Structure 1
């Protein structure tokens, strides 16, 4: 019998691992890609679409759901699962990244962050305790602690000070929701900017706290790809091997496979859904920009090796027509396809790990995509 928070490694191949994490709304098999549903839905898709795609878990955004419609309204309607109609696991981020992106609209102190809404300019305050309270109202399966996402280019002195603040906030989040006090899981976040020694120190401090999982934050914020990979590869093995590891907001196909190779289990990124709405589609043959005139009379499926709804029912010519005409169906079909690609990518990685052929699997994907990223 499994309990909420149980994490079992099913197999490894080098540092890559396939595992299962039990949550209150189901067991997740990793490696896993988590579609982003910022305001309680994945843009253009219904919960039934996500089920058909075999999505295991989706994300909600604490900041946006707090601003609109409000976490207390969601709580009165039975929580985010009932409110949205999605009955699978949900992870909510703390809203920290969104708040810190507000730049001149926010002020950081030891107590938390004062900020103004991007919608109406109204003033609000997020303390570590407040973000836990909001996420408890939302009823997500996995909650994230409040952390400070240091901007790329921050100097070492500021980054070190921020690291300490993130640790103190993490401890306050844990105290606000003591381990074992409910069915929601709470993950800590390692920061430290782009300094390996600070990443090591942050990992030591955060991993000393009893969280249900551990995340790497503060990457893909403007740095070069080699630097991002260096910090990720340095940090991943510092996280406990017996807990899930989550790389936040990083997500080209090769980024994900590089992360899996480093021992990371969970990934999210807006890339597949945002690119779908911009007409950029991922296929087994490489990227396709469906806006291009060359597809105007192309009767082939988007990807002959894909069995998603868009590829089995429609031609490239029709998908291009829908996109050019700005028909809403274009966004749905493109999003279905891109998410199918990313979800299939991580499912294939899990199978490859269990078969001891992950390096071969990664090389096959890299041969198609690396040059295009």
Structure 2
């Protein structure tokens, strides 16, 4: 039986509570040979006739073409289906909460609505709110919790919360700092969470130029800064003892609207491709200028083109309301 290399890579992992045996079959492609193992539950194998075992091997082998296991072969492990993308993140990525500071704000950056938030250990804490910004509240337990956000395309981003007891005594000379100490916001409306680290609460916050950005306090030690216009800015934090720390915010003039990739190729059998917009005013609407296919979602930093089988090229477009740019999708 002959299979392509790409086919061999599509064999999914098998999740089962049973001890597994494996059937193996030698496959050939272009004069090269490889062995493919088809795992199946041991007790199911012993109960089958020789003819049934052969049928199971053939059916499981069909995953190379249709991507599914039948007759005792379970679904692929969910972890293999997780899709991460560098343009989709949680900010801040790490937070430490003491017994006194029990809440923290987290913000999803990028991705596509709707967003679904969850925590790995509900005994340590919980999420309240929805959408781009949520609040995490810790319980009385100490430990490490993991926050996960999944977007409408299945992309996943994480953040980590460390929960520790109150320090026995905070040193009088503990330095105050901000996290992050610097950031770059490219479009009006872009946001970032800034956290105070160290010093003595309560904290007093201010912004260097109120025409270029604004701050919104969030809980005891965080603010959300929003860019209003181009031009560098600062976020200033002063603690109870008069210590001062400043975060530098770089805000360059908005770049020309662009799309990536500008050219790509999808098989004539059909398939999909991810496109990303940058520059402009940061508010993007996706569509098809010509050819078959659909874009999902219709708004956001990124969108996925899905096309049926065929040979007709597709022209993808993205607009920021002021200008439109295009990408060409060839078929082969």
Q: Shorter-chain TM-score: what band?
A: under 0.3
* Higher percent of residues as strand: 2
Higher RCO by CA contacts (8 Å cutoff, separation 6 or greater)? 1
Q: Which protein is richer in helix relative to its size? A: 1
TM-score with structure 2 length normalisation? 0.21
- Which structure has the larger Rg over C-alpha atoms? 2
